[in-house]
Chains A and B, each alone.
Chain A
């Protein structure tokens, strides 16, 4: 039952009564934000075309929240209910779903059982690709506010800064690791760690064999 729209009868359609459902007004606001982001990369958003008008149901396990995602022309519609059979149902905890969108190998989440997909997985796949592949031209957005020249200078500085930070970060990380492993010998190197784990395995097996031998001797007495 939606407080925002004041629905006060049993209502039509199959609004899920169990679980935490998001109010329409909140979904409308979320939809507006998502579409503003999509509008920043029109080419990326245009890649939604093959799944326009398909119905994707997201079920957040643990909360029982259901969100229908209907891709439209260069935009997404988000609904709390949608009176059409979903083409695709994606179930998972919010963390698992977010992880799948961000992960390098999205199949992992499905194989691990954290996320399940029923029906035609194409809408989910295309949607994930569009969201991950958004390439927002910040310089263009900034130039609308500040003008081309200033925006370009700012973005060049920002990009140079980003590269510097990345490089310095890498080098600093390597230096710290080397110091801790080789000089201070506080942390083991990868090879030392592997040797140690192998020795632990051997020791455990030895102890089990010894226990078995002791048992056999006891029975023989």
Chain B
């Protein structure tokens, strides 16, 4: 084991430990994840996800990989659009989250064109040039080596395919940043304690958002991975950003 350190929220932890600690966070929040998302974003996360689907522009018969799929909000929409000739693979590194997601989608009647993969985004178990679209929604910031994950997303895309990263980002104006900080560090952990019975995990979520690369840095990382025509758009004042790049 090396001495290399990475951040876990505001803490410095050995690289080998981060994955384990992120897993613990999501094991703890899995059951109430959807409810917490609604509370945390006041329901706006639905619009952010809708916009991601619009930008993905997925159509009949395509193959889509949804990474860090969580409870499967994006995967569900894609599976309904690509039809029986298409395929959607819903992937997450966390077994509890993936189980929750699978249960929810099977109960919603999504079967046949939806598969599940317990996989690490840094080393995807898929052949190169496989997917028309790869998405990762609110997941990249929990990945230990983000650049590796972006490289992998690029590798598994077919030429002409597109990747979308929906992630919390950095507010573009000072007053909003202040209000947002107050919200994340006092209200959010309290909500977490009341609803999910776990303040620490939600504090980690807030901290990890602050440590995540800002819009321009992430854009640079996507270009580094090989993506072309890469760009991003801010939503809700930069609290969330959607990055998109193509493999050409």
Contacts and interface: CB of A to CB of B under 8 A. Distances in A.
B37 to A, nearest CB: 15
Contacts of B61: 53
A37 B237 CA distance: 35
A127 interface: no
Interface stretch (A79-87, A93-101, A128-136): A79-87
A129 to B, nearest CB: 18
Contacts of A84: 57-59
A146 B109 CA distance: 27
> Secondary structure of the B side of the interface?
mixed
Given A28-B47, A28-B50, A8 B237 contact: yes
B224 interface: no
Interface stretch (B22-30, B78-86, B193-201): B78-86
B233 A72 contact: no
B232 A53 contact: no
Given A8-B172, A24-B51, A53 B235 contact: no
A9 interface: yes
B93 interface: no
User: For this complex, into which size category does the number of interface residues on chain A fall?
Assistant: 20 to 34
Given A72-B81, A73-B80, A75-B80, A6 B57 contact: no
A11 B233 CA distance: 5
Contact of A9 (B54, B83, B233): B233
A89 B62 CA distance: 21
A137 to B, nearest CB: 19
A11 B61 CA distance: 27
A141 B23 CA distance: 44
Interface string A6-19: 11111111000000
A72 B50 CA distance: 14
B152 to A, nearest CB: 22
A41 interface: no
Q: From DSSP, what is the main secondary structure of chain A's interface residues?
A: loop
B236 A5 contact: yes
B42 to A, nearest CB: 12
A4 B44 CA distance: 9
B244 interface: yes
A25 B234 CA distance: 17
Interface in B29-54: 44, 46-48, 50-51, 53-54
A12 B234 contact: no
B168 to A, nearest CB: 14
Nearest to A84: B57
A6 B59 contact: no
A52 B61 CA distance: 9
B51 A77 contact: no
A48 to B, nearest CB: 10
Given A72-B80, A83-B56, A4 B233 contact: no
> Which of A4, A9, A12, A77 has the most chain B CB within a 10 Å cutoff?
A12
Contacts of B145: none
A70 interface: yes
A80 B54 contact: yes
Contacts of A13: 54-55, 57
Contacts of B84: 52
Interface in B150-193: 172
Contact of B58 (A5, A7, A53): A53
Given A5-B47, A12-B242, A52 B55 contact: no
Contacts of B51: 2, 5, 7, 24
Which A-B residue pairs are the 7 nearest by beta carbons? A53-B60, A83-B57, A72-B80, A84-B57, A52-B83, A6-B236, A11-B233
Interface of A: 2, 4-13, 24-25, 28, 49, 52-55, 68, 70, 72-73, 75, 77, 79-84
29 contacts: A5-B47, A5-B48, A5-B50, A5-B51, A8-B172, A8-B234, A8-B235, A8-B237, A9-B232, A9-B233, A9-B234, A11-B233, A12-B231, A12-B244, A13-B55, A24-B47, A49-B83, A52-B60, A52-B82, A53-B58, A53-B62, A53-B83, A73-B80, A77-B53, A77-B80, A79-B54, A83-B54, A83-B56, A84-B57
